């Protein structure tokens, strides 16, 4: 796994709907490996790898966008009120930093609280960009910011904002780079607007009408103190999704992924996620429907500025995707 690629992707700016910069970061890493690269109207970056004609049409999706905030109002004294872009939890906010497209940095904090354990909703938080009033405020209503935190690799313990889903983008990019030949016509879609309802993947899948759809995304784990019960844990390999709140994975595709992992000696676990979904949901029910599944990267602290993955799990996710794409897919 290319750690420099991870750093560039996770530190990049790209809240849902504002992914232009992420497209520019990803493009140089895929250019030499794809037979064709295009950008559709919504902004999905699509890299096609041509097959030998004997296989299926496969769409691989990893989303480029990240959760963030959007300015709704600027107070007379220059503080910003905001709303969420995607799943932003109030407990993750106070003292954290956000960054706008032009690099402007802001500190998030909340109004006074009655007790130390009280947490306000988003409407009682604000962003301080150092302005003294509306006139010298460098941002406008409608501007979007992503959270801002640098990447750290402590041996195999990788911590960053936006592992969701830039680490999925890393898996897709490295799988494309390592995929020497494939029977399938493979479309690697770096999708937009996943965090606001898997919108980019829906448009892409309607356009491409793939036979098979595989999303690469993060999933939560149940291996931390008093966590919600879940079988997935860090360092036990990629999780092959069986179901989440938005989809039941195609059983034939789940069987095939498990078989490919076993044949190649890749550790894996099975995932049942009770909340949330991925681009695979959109792909599954777009057009005439597709056989859809997900390779999930086990991730702690999802939707915080310290999303945490294990580099071995990432490496094994790349290997599993290459195994699936380089061989016939019998469903
Ligand atoms: Co997410
Ligand atoms: Zn995601």
Nearest by Cα to 300 from 234, 242, 241, 253: 234
What spacing in Å lies between the alpha carbon of 217 and ligand 2's midpoint?
5
Give the count of alpha carbons within 13 A of 199, CB side only.
12
- 297: β partners: 218
Nearest by Cα to 242 from 253, 234, 227, 233: 253
DSSP string for residues in 2-16? -HHHHHHHHHS--BT
**Burial classification of residue 179, based on how many CB atoms lie within 10 Å of its CB (0-12 exposed, 13-18 middle, 19 or more buried):** middle
Q: What is the pLDDT of residue 92?
A: 96
Phi/psi for 13 (5° steps) reads -85, 135
| CA of 86, nearest ligand number | 1
Residues around ligand 1, an ion, CB closer than 5 A: 164
The helix (H) or strand (E) run that includes residue 243 is strand 239-243
What spacing in Å lies between the alpha carbon of 84 and ligand 1's midpoint?
13
| CA–CA distance, 128 with 96 (Å, rounded to integer) | 11
Nearest by Cα to 209 from 71, 57, 38: 57
For the chain, list the domains and their CATH numbers: 3-66+161-326 (3.40.630.10), 68-147 (2.40.30.40)
What spacing in Å lies between the alpha carbon of 253 and ligand 1's midpoint?
23
| CA of 63, nearest ligand number | 2
Who contacts 227 (Cβ-Cβ below 8 Å, separation ≥6)? 221
Q: Where are the alpha helices (DSSP H) in the chain?
A: 3-11, 20-30, 163-178, 199-208, 251-264, 279-285, 311-326
| CA–CA distance, 162 with 16 (Å, rounded to integer) | 12
The helix (H) or strand (E) run that includes residue 62 is strand 57-63
SS3 content of the chain, % helix, strand, coil (to 5): 25, 30, 45
In order along the chain (331 residues), what is the average pLDDT of each group of 10 residues?
97 98 98 98 98 97 98 98 98 97 98 95 98 97 98 98 98 98 98 98 98 98 97 98 98 98 98 97 98 98 98 98 98 92
CA distances from 15 to 110, 160, 172, 184, 259 (A): 22, 15, 20, 32, 36
| CA–CA distance, 97 with 79 (Å, rounded to integer) | 14
What spacing in Å lies between the alpha carbon of 260 and ligand 2's midpoint?
24
| CA of 217, nearest ligand number | 2
| CA of 303, nearest ligand number | 1
31 is catalytic: no
What spacing in Å lies between the alpha carbon of 137 and ligand 1's midpoint?
30
What spacing in Å lies between the alpha carbon of 165 and ligand 1's midpoint?
7
**Please, what sign has the CA dihedral across residues 33, 192, 247, 234?**
positive
What spacing in Å lies between the alpha carbon of 103 and ligand 1's midpoint?
23
What spacing in Å lies between the alpha carbon of 77 and ligand 1's midpoint?
33
What spacing in Å lies between the alpha carbon of 262 and ligand 2's midpoint?
26
What spacing in Å lies between the alpha carbon of 133 and ligand 2's midpoint?
36
* The one catalytic residue among 194, 202, 271, 323: 194
| CA of 166, nearest ligand number | 2
Record the pTM. Answer: 0.98
Q: What is the pLDDT of residue 327?
A: 98
Nearest by Cα to 78 from 154, 130, 150: 130
Phi/psi for 45 (5° steps) reads -95, 120
Q: What is the pLDDT of residue 81?
A: 98
Q: Supply angle C-alpha 81, 102, 83, rounded to 5.
A: 20
| CA of 168, nearest ligand number | 2
């Amino acid at each position: 796994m290319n750690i420099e690629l991870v750093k560039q992707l996770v530190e990049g700016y790209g809240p849902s709907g504002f992914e232009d910069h992420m497209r520019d970061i990803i493009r140089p890493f895929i250019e030499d490996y794809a037979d064709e690269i295009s950008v559709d109207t919504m902004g999905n970056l699509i890299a096609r790898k041509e097959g030998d004609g004997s296989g299926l049409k496969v769409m691989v999706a990893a989303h480029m966008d990240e959760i963030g905030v959007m300015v709704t109002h600027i107070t007379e004294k220059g503080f910003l009120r905001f709303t969420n872009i995607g799943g932003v939890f109030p407990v993750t906010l106070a003292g954290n930093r956000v960054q706008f497209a032009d690099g402007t940095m802001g500190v998030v904090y909340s109004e006074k609280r009655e007790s130390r354990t009280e947490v306000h909703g988003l409407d009682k938080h604000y962003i301080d960009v150092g302005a003294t009033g509306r006139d010298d405020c460098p941002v406008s209503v409608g501007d979007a910011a992503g959270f801002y935190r640098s990447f750290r690799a402590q041996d195999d313990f990788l911590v960053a904002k936006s592992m969701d889903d830039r680490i999925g983008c890393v898996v897709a990019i490295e799988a494309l780079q390592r995929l020497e030949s494939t029977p399938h016509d493979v479309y690697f879609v770096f999708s937009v607007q996943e965090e606001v309802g898997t919108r980019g993947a829906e448009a892409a899948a309607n356009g491409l009408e793939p036979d098979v759809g595989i999303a690469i995304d993060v999933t939560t784990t149940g291996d931390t103190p008093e966590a919600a019960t879940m079988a997935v844990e860090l360092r036990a390999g990629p999780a092959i999704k069986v179901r989440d709140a938005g989809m039941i994975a195609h059983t034939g595709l789940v069987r095939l992924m498990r078989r490919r992992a076993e044949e190649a000696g890749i550790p894996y676990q099975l995932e049942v996620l009770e909340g949330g979904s991925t681009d695979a949901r959109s792909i599954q029910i777009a057009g005439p429907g597709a056989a859809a599944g997900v390779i999930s990267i086990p991730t702690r602290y999802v939707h915080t500025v310290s999303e945490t993955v294990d580099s071995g799990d990432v490496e094994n996710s790349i290997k599993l995707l290459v195994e699936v794409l380089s061989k016939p897919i019998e469903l």
